[in-house]
Protein backbone atom coordinates (compact mmCIF):
# COMPACT_ATOMS: atom_id res chain seq x y z
CA UNK A 1 0.00 0.00 0.00
CA UNK A 2 2.08 2.91 -1.28
CA UNK A 3 5.84 3.29 -1.74
CA UNK A 4 7.73 4.61 1.30
CA UNK A 5 7.96 8.39 0.79
CA UNK A 6 11.31 8.62 2.57
CA UNK A 7 12.92 6.12 0.21
CA UNK A 8 12.11 8.12 -2.92
CA UNK A 9 15.11 9.80 -4.52
CA UNK A 10 14.54 13.58 -4.80
CA UNK A 11 11.38 15.61 -4.21
CA UNK A 12 7.89 14.16 -4.67
CA UNK A 13 5.02 16.26 -5.99
CA UNK A 14 2.31 16.34 -3.35
CA UNK A 15 -0.24 15.18 -5.94
CA UNK A 16 1.52 11.82 -6.04
CA UNK A 17 0.98 11.11 -2.35
CA UNK A 18 -1.90 8.87 -1.30
CA UNK A 19 -4.12 10.68 1.27
CA UNK A 20 -4.83 7.38 3.00
CA UNK A 21 -1.38 5.84 3.58
CA UNK A 22 0.63 9.09 3.09
CA UNK A 23 3.09 7.27 0.84
CA UNK A 24 3.66 7.48 -2.90
CA UNK A 25 0.74 6.15 -4.93
CA UNK A 26 0.93 2.49 -5.89
CA UNK A 27 -1.37 1.18 -8.66
CA UNK A 28 -3.26 4.48 -8.49
CA UNK A 29 -6.97 4.99 -9.15
CA UNK A 30 -8.97 8.20 -9.19
CA UNK A 31 -12.50 9.19 -8.33
CA UNK A 32 -14.17 10.23 -11.59
CA UNK A 33 -16.06 12.92 -9.60
CA UNK A 34 -13.59 14.82 -7.40
CA UNK A 35 -10.46 13.42 -9.13
CA UNK A 36 -8.71 12.60 -5.88
CA UNK A 37 -6.24 9.77 -6.36
CA UNK A 38 -5.42 6.83 -4.06
CA UNK A 39 -3.53 3.57 -4.08
CA UNK A 40 -5.96 0.94 -5.35
CA UNK A 41 -5.43 -1.24 -2.28
CA UNK A 42 -5.88 1.72 0.11
CA UNK A 43 -9.16 2.96 -1.33
CA UNK A 44 -10.58 -0.54 -1.73
CA UNK A 45 -9.95 -1.21 1.94
CA UNK A 46 -11.44 2.19 2.85
CA UNK A 47 -14.58 1.55 0.81
CA UNK A 48 -15.32 -1.64 2.72
CA UNK A 49 -16.38 0.79 5.48
CA UNK A 50 -17.37 4.07 3.84
CA UNK A 51 -18.70 5.20 0.46
CA UNK A 52 -17.28 8.73 0.58
CA UNK A 53 -14.04 10.35 -0.60
CA UNK A 54 -11.60 10.40 2.36
CA UNK A 55 -10.45 13.92 1.33
CA UNK A 56 -13.62 15.91 0.62
CA UNK A 57 -16.34 13.46 1.77
CA UNK A 58 -18.13 13.54 -1.63
CA UNK A 59 -20.02 10.36 -2.64
CA UNK A 60 -17.72 7.61 -3.81
CA UNK A 61 -18.94 4.30 -5.21
CA UNK A 62 -16.92 1.51 -6.76
CA UNK A 63 -18.19 2.52 -10.20
CA UNK A 64 -16.66 6.00 -9.73
CA UNK A 65 -13.14 4.62 -9.56
CA UNK A 66 -11.15 4.98 -12.81
CA UNK A 67 -7.46 4.46 -13.60
CA UNK A 68 -5.27 7.48 -12.77
CA UNK A 69 -4.65 10.05 -15.51
CA UNK A 70 -1.84 9.59 -18.01
CA UNK A 71 -0.13 12.71 -16.61
CA UNK A 72 -0.08 11.24 -13.12
CA UNK A 73 1.19 7.88 -14.35
CA UNK A 74 3.95 9.62 -16.32
CA UNK A 75 5.03 11.56 -13.25
CA UNK A 76 5.09 8.38 -11.19
CA UNK A 77 7.10 6.53 -13.81
CA UNK A 78 9.86 9.15 -13.57
CA UNK A 79 10.38 8.59 -9.84
CA UNK A 80 13.22 6.41 -8.51
CA UNK A 81 13.15 4.59 -5.19
CA UNK A 82 16.00 3.17 -3.11
CA UNK A 83 16.09 -0.55 -2.39
CA UNK A 84 14.89 -1.16 1.17
CA UNK A 85 18.04 -3.18 1.84
CA UNK A 86 20.22 -0.10 1.38
CA UNK A 87 21.50 -0.43 4.95
CA UNK A 88 22.64 -3.95 4.21
CA UNK A 89 24.51 -2.80 1.15
CA UNK A 90 22.14 -2.65 -1.86
CA UNK A 91 22.71 0.72 -3.47
CA UNK A 92 20.27 0.31 -6.37
CA UNK A 93 17.76 3.00 -7.34
CA UNK A 94 14.73 1.43 -8.97
CA UNK A 95 11.73 2.43 -11.01
CA UNK A 96 8.58 2.08 -8.92
CA UNK A 97 7.23 -0.64 -11.18
CA UNK A 98 10.37 -2.78 -10.63
CA UNK A 99 10.59 -2.17 -6.89
CA UNK A 100 8.48 -5.01 -5.41
CA UNK A 101 9.99 -7.67 -7.64
CA UNK A 102 13.52 -6.49 -6.89
CA UNK A 103 13.05 -6.38 -3.14
CA UNK A 104 11.60 -9.90 -3.12
CA UNK A 105 14.71 -11.27 -4.79
CA UNK A 106 17.36 -8.72 -3.70
CA UNK A 107 20.57 -10.51 -2.76
CA UNK A 108 20.63 -8.50 0.50
CA UNK A 109 17.13 -9.63 1.46
CA UNK A 110 17.54 -12.05 4.40
CA UNK A 111 14.29 -13.81 3.45
CA UNK A 112 15.44 -14.75 -0.04
CA UNK A 113 15.50 -18.55 -0.26
CA UNK A 114 18.84 -20.14 -1.05
CA UNK A 115 19.69 -23.78 -1.53
CA UNK A 116 21.24 -25.51 1.47
CA UNK A 117 24.96 -25.98 0.82
CA UNK A 118 25.06 -29.32 2.65
CA UNK A 119 23.29 -31.00 -0.19
CA UNK A 120 19.86 -31.75 1.33
CA UNK A 121 18.31 -29.97 -1.65
CA UNK A 122 15.98 -27.75 0.41
CA UNK A 123 15.59 -24.02 -0.14
CA UNK A 124 15.91 -22.07 3.08
CA UNK A 125 15.53 -18.33 3.80
CA UNK A 126 19.05 -16.89 4.04
CA UNK A 127 18.65 -15.73 7.64
CA UNK A 128 17.49 -19.19 8.74
CA UNK A 129 20.40 -20.98 7.08
CA UNK A 130 22.54 -20.88 10.24
CA UNK A 131 20.01 -22.81 12.33
CA UNK A 132 18.89 -25.04 9.44
CA UNK A 133 19.30 -28.73 10.24
CA UNK A 134 19.12 -30.97 7.19
CA UNK A 135 18.13 -34.14 9.04
CA UNK A 136 15.40 -32.50 11.12
CA UNK A 137 13.88 -30.75 8.11
CA UNK A 138 14.01 -33.83 5.95
CA UNK A 139 12.44 -35.88 8.73
CA UNK A 140 9.62 -33.32 8.90
CA UNK A 141 9.21 -33.54 5.17
CA UNK A 142 9.06 -37.33 5.22
CA UNK A 143 6.44 -37.14 7.97
CA UNK A 144 4.35 -34.70 5.91
CA UNK A 145 4.63 -36.85 2.84
CA UNK A 146 3.70 -39.99 4.73
CA UNK A 147 0.56 -38.18 5.85
CA UNK A 148 -0.17 -37.27 2.25
CA UNK A 149 0.34 -40.88 1.15
CA UNK A 150 -2.15 -42.10 3.74
CA UNK A 151 -4.69 -39.54 2.52
CA UNK A 152 -4.09 -40.52 -1.09
CA UNK A 153 -4.53 -44.20 -0.29
CA UNK A 154 -7.83 -43.46 1.41
CA UNK A 155 -8.99 -41.47 -1.60
CA UNK A 156 -7.85 -44.26 -3.89
CA UNK A 157 -9.80 -46.79 -1.86
CA UNK A 158 -13.05 -44.89 -2.16
CA UNK A 159 -12.44 -44.34 -5.88
CA UNK A 160 -11.91 -48.07 -6.38
CA UNK A 161 -15.16 -48.74 -4.63
CA UNK A 162 -16.94 -46.25 -6.84
CA UNK A 163 -15.53 -47.85 -9.97
CA UNK A 164 -16.80 -51.26 -8.89
CA UNK A 165 -20.27 -49.84 -8.30
CA UNK A 166 -20.30 -48.02 -11.59
CA UNK A 167 -19.11 -51.09 -13.46
CA UNK A 168 -22.03 -53.01 -11.97
CA UNK A 169 -24.44 -50.28 -13.03
CA UNK A 170 -22.96 -50.29 -16.52
CA UNK A 171 -23.40 -54.03 -16.79
CA UNK A 172 -27.04 -53.72 -15.82
CA UNK A 173 -27.47 -51.00 -18.39
CA UNK A 174 -25.93 -53.25 -21.00
CA UNK A 175 -28.38 -56.05 -20.27
CA UNK A 176 -31.14 -53.52 -20.64
CA UNK A 177 -29.77 -52.22 -23.95
CA UNK A 178 -29.32 -55.77 -25.23
CA UNK A 179 -32.93 -56.51 -24.42
CA UNK A 180 -34.08 -53.34 -26.17
CA UNK A 181 -31.96 -54.13 -29.19
CA UNK A 182 -33.36 -57.59 -29.66
CA UNK A 183 -36.92 -56.25 -29.58
CA UNK A 184 -36.52 -53.20 -31.84
CA UNK A 185 -35.05 -53.44 -35.38
CA UNK A 186 -34.12 -49.74 -35.61
CA UNK A 187 -32.26 -49.85 -32.31
CA UNK A 188 -30.57 -53.03 -33.47
CA UNK A 189 -29.23 -51.20 -36.50
CA UNK A 190 -27.90 -48.23 -34.51
CA UNK A 191 -26.46 -50.60 -31.94
CA UNK A 192 -24.51 -52.51 -34.58
CA UNK A 193 -22.99 -49.31 -35.92
CA UNK A 194 -21.96 -48.28 -32.41
CA UNK A 195 -20.41 -51.71 -31.81
CA UNK A 196 -18.41 -51.48 -35.03
CA UNK A 197 -17.27 -47.97 -34.12
CA UNK A 198 -16.20 -48.80 -30.57
CA UNK A 199 -14.34 -51.92 -31.72
CA UNK A 200 -12.43 -49.88 -34.29
CA UNK A 201 -11.59 -47.24 -31.66
CA UNK A 202 -10.22 -49.98 -29.45
CA UNK A 203 -8.34 -51.66 -32.31
CA UNK A 204 -6.66 -48.41 -33.30
CA UNK A 205 -5.02 -48.32 -29.90
CA UNK A 206 -3.49 -51.80 -30.32
CA UNK A 207 -0.26 -52.55 -32.19
CA UNK A 208 -0.47 -54.19 -35.58
CA UNK A 209 0.61 -57.84 -35.67
CA UNK A 210 2.17 -60.13 -38.25
CA UNK A 211 1.29 -63.82 -38.22
CA UNK A 212 4.32 -65.83 -39.40
CA UNK A 213 2.87 -69.25 -38.80
CA UNK A 214 -0.79 -69.62 -39.78
CA UNK A 215 -0.34 -73.36 -39.35
CA UNK A 216 -0.16 -72.90 -35.55
CA UNK A 217 -3.70 -71.47 -35.36
CA UNK A 218 -5.80 -73.00 -32.56
CA UNK A 219 -9.30 -73.11 -34.01
CA UNK A 220 -11.16 -75.07 -31.32
CA UNK A 221 -9.97 -73.68 -27.99
CA UNK A 222 -11.20 -75.42 -24.84
CA UNK A 223 -13.02 -73.81 -21.92
CA UNK A 224 -9.95 -72.73 -19.91
CA UNK A 225 -8.66 -71.05 -23.05
CA UNK A 226 -11.97 -69.17 -23.43
CA UNK A 227 -11.54 -67.94 -19.88
CA UNK A 228 -7.98 -66.82 -20.66
CA UNK A 229 -9.18 -64.95 -23.76
CA UNK A 230 -11.77 -63.18 -21.65
CA UNK A 231 -9.12 -62.02 -19.17
CA UNK A 232 -6.89 -60.94 -22.03
CA UNK A 233 -9.65 -58.85 -23.65
CA UNK A 234 -10.60 -57.19 -20.36
CA UNK A 235 -6.97 -56.34 -19.61
CA UNK A 236 -6.44 -54.48 -22.87
CA UNK A 237 -9.58 -52.35 -22.88
CA UNK A 238 -11.94 -54.25 -25.18
CA UNK A 239 -15.35 -52.48 -25.05
CA UNK A 240 -17.08 -54.11 -22.08
CA UNK A 241 -20.33 -54.81 -23.88
CA UNK A 242 -18.50 -56.75 -26.59
CA UNK A 243 -16.20 -58.87 -24.44
CA UNK A 244 -18.53 -61.88 -24.30
CA UNK A 245 -19.24 -61.72 -28.00
CA UNK A 246 -15.54 -61.52 -28.84
CA UNK A 247 -14.74 -64.40 -26.47
CA UNK A 248 -17.26 -66.58 -28.32
CA UNK A 249 -15.57 -65.65 -31.54
CA UNK A 250 -12.25 -67.25 -30.71
CA UNK A 251 -13.72 -70.56 -31.88
CA UNK A 252 -14.06 -71.59 -35.52
CA UNK A 253 -17.80 -72.29 -35.18
CA UNK A 254 -18.31 -68.50 -34.93
CA UNK A 255 -15.96 -67.60 -37.78
CA UNK A 256 -17.03 -66.62 -41.34
CA UNK A 257 -17.70 -69.43 -43.87
CA UNK A 258 -14.20 -69.31 -45.35
CA UNK A 259 -12.62 -70.15 -41.98
CA UNK A 260 -15.21 -72.43 -40.48
CA UNK A 261 -13.23 -75.72 -40.65
CA UNK A 262 -9.82 -77.04 -41.57
CA UNK A 263 -10.83 -78.06 -45.08
CA UNK A 264 -12.10 -74.63 -46.18
CA UNK A 265 -9.21 -72.94 -44.36
CA UNK A 266 -6.79 -75.00 -46.43
CA UNK A 267 -8.45 -73.73 -49.61
CA UNK A 268 -8.03 -70.15 -48.38
CA UNK A 269 -4.61 -70.61 -46.82
CA UNK A 270 -2.87 -68.33 -49.35
CA UNK A 271 -5.29 -65.48 -48.52
CA UNK A 272 -4.86 -65.52 -44.75
CA UNK A 273 -1.69 -63.35 -44.77
CA UNK A 274 -3.83 -60.56 -46.27
CA UNK A 275 -5.64 -60.10 -42.94
CA UNK A 276 -4.95 -56.92 -41.00
CA UNK A 277 -4.47 -58.13 -37.43
CA UNK A 278 -3.88 -56.37 -34.10
CA UNK A 279 -1.80 -57.82 -31.32
CA UNK A 280 -3.45 -58.76 -28.02
CA UNK A 281 -1.52 -59.43 -24.81
CA UNK A 282 -0.36 -63.07 -24.59
CA UNK A 283 -2.73 -65.41 -22.76
CA UNK A 284 -1.90 -66.52 -19.23
CA UNK A 285 -0.92 -69.87 -20.78
CA UNK A 286 1.65 -68.13 -22.97
CA UNK A 287 -0.31 -68.58 -26.19
CA UNK A 288 -0.30 -65.64 -28.59
CA UNK A 289 -3.45 -63.84 -29.66
CA UNK A 290 -4.57 -61.44 -32.37
CA UNK A 291 -7.86 -59.71 -33.07
CA UNK A 292 -9.19 -59.41 -36.62
CA UNK A 293 -11.70 -56.57 -36.96
CA UNK A 294 -14.30 -56.27 -39.71
CA UNK A 295 -13.58 -52.57 -40.18
CA UNK A 296 -9.90 -53.29 -40.93
CA UNK A 297 -10.63 -56.07 -43.36
CA UNK A 298 -13.14 -54.75 -45.88
CA UNK A 299 -10.58 -55.69 -48.56
CA UNK A 300 -11.02 -59.40 -47.81
CA UNK A 301 -13.35 -61.68 -49.83
CA UNK A 302 -16.86 -61.85 -48.36
CA UNK A 303 -16.44 -65.40 -46.98
CA UNK A 304 -13.35 -64.36 -45.01
CA UNK A 305 -14.63 -61.00 -43.74
CA UNK A 306 -15.58 -61.01 -40.02
CA UNK A 307 -18.88 -59.24 -39.26
CA UNK A 308 -17.61 -57.33 -36.24
CA UNK A 309 -14.41 -59.07 -35.33
CA UNK A 310 -12.89 -62.31 -34.18
CA UNK A 311 -10.04 -63.50 -32.00
CA UNK A 312 -7.40 -65.98 -33.13
CA UNK A 313 -5.09 -67.91 -30.81
CA UNK A 314 -1.72 -69.20 -32.03
CA UNK A 315 0.87 -71.54 -30.58
CA UNK A 316 3.65 -69.31 -31.91
CA UNK A 317 4.80 -67.16 -34.81
CA UNK A 318 3.03 -63.88 -33.98
CA UNK A 319 5.06 -60.69 -33.96
CA UNK A 320 4.34 -57.06 -33.31
CA UNK A 321 4.82 -54.88 -36.38
CA UNK A 322 7.42 -52.28 -35.43
CA UNK A 323 6.22 -48.82 -36.36
CA UNK A 324 8.89 -46.53 -37.80
CA UNK A 325 10.04 -44.17 -35.05
CA UNK A 326 9.90 -40.43 -35.71
CA UNK A 327 12.98 -39.10 -37.50
CA UNK A 328 15.42 -37.58 -35.01
CA UNK A 329 15.27 -34.11 -36.47
CA UNK A 330 11.54 -33.86 -35.69
CA UNK A 331 12.22 -34.60 -32.04
CA UNK A 332 15.03 -32.05 -31.78
ZN1 LIG B 1 -2.13 4.56 -0.22
ZN1 LIG C 1 -12.34 13.63 -3.30
ZN1 LIG D 1 18.27 -4.44 -3.44
ZN1 LIG E 1 20.13 -28.76 4.41
**Which ligand is the nearest neighbour of the Cα of 38?**
1
In a domain, 286, yes or no: yes
Give the ligand at the shortest distance from the Cα of 98: 3
- Selection from 56, 69, 16, 59 nearest residue 39 by Cα: 16
- The tens-digit pLDDT sequence of the chain (332 residues) is 899 999 999 999 999 999 999 999 999 999 999 999 999 999 999 999 999 999 999 999 999 999 999 999 999 999 999 999 999 999 999 999 999 999 999 999 999 998 998 888 889 998 998 899 999 989 999 999 999 999 999 999 999 999 999 989 988 888 888 888 888 888 888 888 889 999 999 999 999 999 999 999 999 999 999 999 999 999 999 998 899 999 999 999 999 999 999 999 999 999 999 999 999 999 988 999 999 999 999 999 999 999 999 999 999 999 999 876 555 554 44
| Position 146 in a domain | no
Q: Phi first, then psi: what are they for 22, rounded to 5°?
A: 65, 20
The CA 115 to ligand 4 mean position distance, Å, reads: 8
In contact, 197 and 308? CB cutoff 8 Å: no
Of 56, 76, 105, the one marking the end of a domain is 105
Tell me, yes or no, whether 203 lies in a domain. yes
118 C-alpha vs ligand 4 centroid, how far in Å?
5
Query: 59 forms bridges with which residues in the sheet?
Result: 52
Ligand 1 midpoint to CA 143 (Å) = 43
**Whether residue 205 sits in one domain with residue 90:** no
Tell me the C-alpha to C-alpha distance, in Å, between residue 25 and each of 30, 32, 38, 165, 244.
11, 17, 6, 60, 73
Contact predicate 196/188, CB 8 Å: no
Nearest one of 272, 270, 295, 290 to 280, comparing CA atoms: 290
Residues 88 and 202 in one domain: no
Residue where a domain terminates, one of 49, 78, 105 = 105
Q: Which ligand is nearest to the CA of 46?
A: 1
Q: Kindly identify the ligand whose nearest atom is closest to the C-alpha of 139.
A: 4
Residues 6+ apart with CB under 8 A from 225: 218, 250, 283, 285, 287, 313
Distance CA 25, CA 17 (A): 6
> Quick check: 209 and 279 in contact, CB under 8 A?
yes
Q: Are residue 98 and residue 211 in the same domain, yes or no? A: no
- Ligand closest to Cα of 23 equals 1
Boundary-marking domain end, from 105, 133, 156:
105
In a domain, 294, yes or no: yes
CA of 34 to the centre of ligand 2 (A): 4
Q: Is 83 exposed, middle or buried (0-12, 13-18, 19+ CB in 10 A)?
A: buried
Q: 111 alpha carbon to ligand 3 midpoint, in Å? A: 12
Is 79 inside any structural domain?
yes
- Domain span at residue 9 reads 5-105
Give the ligand at the shortest distance from the Cα of 129: 4
Residues 207 and 314 in one domain: yes
- Strands of the sheet containing 65-67, edge to edge, are 37-39, 28-31, 65-67
Nearest Cα to 136, choosing from 163, 118, 149?
118
Q: Write down the pTM of the prediction.
A: 0.51
Nearest ligand by distance to the CA of 122: 4
Q: Tell me the ligand closest to 88's alpha carbon.
A: 3
Residue 179 included in any domain: no
Ligand nearest to the CA of 92: 3
Give the Å distances, CA to CA, from 5 to 9, 61, 78, 250.
Answer: 9, 28, 15, 84
* Separation of CA 293 and ligand 1 centre (Å): 72
User: Does a structural domain hold residue 142?
Assistant: no
| Distance from residue 107's CA to the centre of ligand 3 (Å) | 7
- φ/ψ of residue 279, rounded to 5: -80, 135
Counted domains in the chain: 2
Residue 180, domain member (yes or no): no
Report the CATH number at residue 45.
Answer: 3.30.40.10
Output the CA 32–ligand 1 centroid distance in Å. 18
Amino acid sequence: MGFDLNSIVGVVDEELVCPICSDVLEDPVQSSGCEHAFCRACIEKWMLEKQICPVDRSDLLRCHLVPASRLMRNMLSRLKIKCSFGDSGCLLHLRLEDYRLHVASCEYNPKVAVECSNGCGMKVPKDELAKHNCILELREMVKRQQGEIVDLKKAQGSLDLRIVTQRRELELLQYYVTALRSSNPMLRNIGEQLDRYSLMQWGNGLSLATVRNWGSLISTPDNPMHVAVRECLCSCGCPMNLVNLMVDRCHEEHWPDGLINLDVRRENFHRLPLYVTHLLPSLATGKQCVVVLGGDNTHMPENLRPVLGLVMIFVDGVEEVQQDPLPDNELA
